[in-house]
Structures are given as structure tokens and as C-alpha cells.
């Protein structure tokens, strides 16, 4: 058999679904992780085999590893794409939300990677971790989300240095604004959590939260389509000698460059000036 397996987590909608469809075809059979039967029905097609997968459920991860281990085809790549977006000020975001963001956006990826590394070591395959520009630059209210993404970047660097001598490649992909359902859900979640702030917290952060939500919605609306973003992920999967990191979108490329050359204080001023444009305007009589 010349066909190889690729696992894509978080493939119900958005970027994950677009990546699964783009990779399916000559050379690759995609195991697309979805959480519900109706999502499985929607994505099932030639070359795309849905598997029920919640990356925070150990039984699901073990079943995925068994599915891969029982297949005669080599595992070429694991695309760790599943994720959630939860935003809120550090002071006001409930601790259960902090823990859940890290459970999904970091620990779930580690669990999947651990389970599938034996197969990747046998095939000399690769791990592709979908991070975010939030893994390089943390806006206000992005503490939990960016914290998990910064951690994913660090885990990716450590893993790359561990397994490169063993023939396994590790690639990080850092999208900017992409038009997906996750961003819309993130705004709705941020609004719901903001409504639970105390009056004092609302006074301190209410305007900031509304500004960030407006900025996030605008950036998503003007971002790349999931299909366009999937081209870069597919390149990271299929290129014989991939780079260690890829950005997706002009906004991500610009922010990465700024983060490299500007001081922390200068980046603070850039962030404040950007967010200020989205603050609610005072009512006029």
C-alpha cells in the first residue's frame, strides 16, 4: 500500500474540516476526529473517515490509537487542530474556565500526541500543531487562550528537539484571522462570561471586553476562509522538508515580525492603540 494515514482532530467544522477534505485523495486516507454523529455524516467522503473523538476523553484517545495501530497503512501525520476560544480578564475569568481551556487547547493535544507517537516513530512521520498568533502575542483578555497556545508552542519546541534524532518532524502553524465558527462561538462565550462579572469588574473591564469582542468579530470577518488557510496546513503536512513554523494570514505575519523586533513596552503601546479604536464611543446628546 502506498496510501498513508493522516489524523486531523477537531474536524467537525472550520479549519479542521477544510484540512481533512484538502488532504483526502491520492496518497492519504484521513481519519477526521469529530464529536457527534451528525458531524461524522457531514464530513464522511472518499478518503475521509470520521472517528468520534473528544481529545479530553482518555477512552476516545485510546480508541483512536487502536484504530491507527490496527491499520496496515503507515501514519504519516497527526494534525492537532481541536480547540476552543475563551476570553476574559485574568481577574474575572473563573478558574474552571482556565482549566477547561488548557485541558482542550494543550493537554488534549499532548494526550493525542503521546498515544500516536509510537506509530509516528515507526513511520518517521510528523506532528503538526495548530497554534495561533495568540501563541506569540497576547492581547488583553486573551490570558487563558494565549497562555495555552504559548504553552503549546513550548511543548512543540521541546518535542521537536526530542524526536528529530528519531526521524519525526514537528511543525507549528500559527493562524491569524480565519473565518470559522470557533471565532463566533468565542465572542458569544466572552459575552456570556462578561455578564457574570461583578459590578466592580464591569467598571474596570467592561469597555475593554466589548472592544476586544468587536475587534475579534471584525478581524474574523475580514480573515481568510478556512479553505484558504487549509492550504498552508496541507503544505506543512505534505512538504518533504517543512519549516518548523508557518503563519497563516497577513495579520499573523505582521504580528510575528513586530514581536521579534519591538520591546515589551513598545508592544504594549501597539496593543493599547489598536484596542482603543474599538472602545465604545461615549453617547452624545
Catalytic residue check, 278: no
The CA distance from 248 to 225, in Å, is 11
The CA distance from 188 to 186, in Å, is 5
The CA distance from 111 to 95, in Å, is 22
CA distances from 29 to 70, 205, 271 (A): 14, 47, 42
Do 219 and 187 meet the contact criterion of CB atoms below 8 Å apart? no
Question: What DSSP designation does 49 have?
Answer: E
β-strand 75-80 against 4-8: which pairing, if any?
parallel
The CA distance from 218 to 162, in Å, is 40
The CA distance from 156 to 122, in Å, is 20
Do 40 and 11 meet the contact criterion of CB atoms below 8 Å apart? no
Catalytic residue among 142, 145, 205, 246: 145
Half-sphere exposure of 85 (CA within 13 A, CB side): 24
Residues with active-site annotation: 145
Amino acid at each position: 500500500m502506498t496510501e498513508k494515514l493522516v489524523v486531523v482532530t477537531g474536524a467537525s467544522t472550520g479549519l479542521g474540516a477544510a484540512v481533512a477534505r484538502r488532504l483526502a485523495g491520492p496518497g492519504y486516507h484521513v481519519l477526521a476526529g469529530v464529536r457527534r454523529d451528525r458531524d461524522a455524516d457531514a464530513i464522511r467522503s472518499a478518503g475521509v473517515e470520521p472517528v468520534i473523538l473528544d481529545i479530553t476523553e482518555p477512552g476516545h484517545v485510546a480508541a483512536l490509537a487502536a484504530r491507527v495501530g490496527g491499520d496496515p497503512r503507515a501514519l504519516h501525520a497527526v494534525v492537532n487542530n481541536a480547540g476552543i476560544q475563551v476570553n476574559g480578564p485574568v481577574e474575572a475569568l473563573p478558574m474552571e474556565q482556565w482549566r477547561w481551556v488548557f485541558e482542550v487547547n494543550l493537554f488534549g493535544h499532548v494526550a493525542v500526541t503521546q498515544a500516536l507517537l509510537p506509530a509516528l516513530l515507526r513511520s518517521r512521520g510528523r506532528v503538526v500543531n495548530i497554534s495561533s498568533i495568540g501563541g506569540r502575542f497576547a492581547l488583553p483578555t486573551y490570558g487563558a487562550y494565549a497562555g495555552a497556545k504559548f504553552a503549546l508552542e513550548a511543548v512543540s519546541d521541546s518535542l521537536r528537539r526530542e524526536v528529530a534524532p528519531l526521524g519525526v518532524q514537528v511543525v507549528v502553524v500559527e493562524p491569524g484571522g480565519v473565518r470559522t465558527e470557533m471565532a463566533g462561538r468565542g465572542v458569544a462565550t466572552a459575552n456570556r462570561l462578561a455578564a457574570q462579572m461583578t459590578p466592580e469588574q464591569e467598571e474596570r473591564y467592561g469597555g475593554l471586553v466589548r472592544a476586544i469582542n468587536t475587534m475579534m468579530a471584525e478581524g474574523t470577518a475580514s480573515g481568510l476562509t478556512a479553505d484558504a488557510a487549509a492550504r498552508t496546513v496541507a503544505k506543512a503536512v505534505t512538504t518533504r522538508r517543512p519549516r518548523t513554523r508557518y503563519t497563516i494570514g497577513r495579520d499573523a505575519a505582521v504580528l510575528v515580525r513586530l514581536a521579534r523586533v519591538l520591546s515589551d513596552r513598545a508592544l504594549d503601546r501597539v496593543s493599547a492603540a489598536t484596542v482603543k479604536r474599538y472602545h465604545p464611543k461615549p453617547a452624545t446628546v
